[in-house]
Structure 1
């Protein structure tokens, strides 16, 4: 088993069990104890787990996710500025994907009057899109109540039917080494598939997400353009080396 595959297996086991012993990792990966220990050190340095005596546990900050209502109240001004700029990138007759999230939701008023088609997995988006007379398709799937998101096999199957001119994704973490991340692997899978089905991909994230990492990897920074508010000059310079970045002042 190659190192990336083995480390992905380690993280998957932690997501499922939260606490896993070194012997359990050894049995699951067919690797030596010394190899597993090196993996755990490397993953802890990336803040993807926490080593404990005899094994590892998932850091609570990596898997914790705020509810949709909690997210709505954070940095509203910055999200609106990001959303206005992101919406300006949408052209006439574009077919776009808006994933579930409070910043993508803020794009909807700026799409009013445009001849665009929107596909979304966000239940909160539906009334707002319909109210702006925008053509909208919704994926099926399992309803994740905490974030009002459609996930799972049904959502993946529906999403695979479409091609997009552009997609706009949220992320809980944006990090130079760990890329774009989110706490839920099933949400990460939806975002990753939308990226793959799109000609252009934008991650829209307020400044609090910069230099943060959560559990599930969505994509490397190079795979999407980043739109963020009020990044520092140091951050902007660092991220420019890895992705196209637009900093919107709020």
Structure 2
């Protein structure tokens, strides 16, 4: 379920910004007139406390709750809360009240920073939280993704192939995600998965676009766009 009712997306996942430790926004920011924040899934409360200041996580999160899923695969971070209404070690059901949306910590206004990380935490451990929630990663009123609403998904590794991947995603009006940060749940929604600059088979429906160099890869992407 969604952690906020009647929510809108105010800042999307993956936006590049040099002030972030990973140089991109690792979560999705949600806001709502209804400030209650609920557990998106069932799990165990790993941490529930206040973290002041700036620097390495969790510094800057203010009041936050980390919920570990029951299968121990993901940790869900709910940050900048006005207050916390659960305690560490508690097992909660989906829909349990975790706290109230706020603007504590390093925050510019009331919102919920919602982030999903694979366990154990390593360098590129975050995944697309929008796909985890089953919503579109775009600013505006939250819109659920239905099983028939995604025709294509574009994947790539961080680096020189991002420009070609972004161009193809714009052409196909498709979501784009890093290979390491996607989930099988998201891939199952698509009719076709394009992987740019890599021969990895992310999914059975994968179409790999790999050139002799990145310029050749761009040319192949342009060819696809002209056919669509």
- Report the TM-score, using the length of structure 2 for normalisation: 0.29
> More strand per residue: 1 or 2?
2
Higher helix share: 1
Give the TM-score taking structure 1 as reference length: 0.27
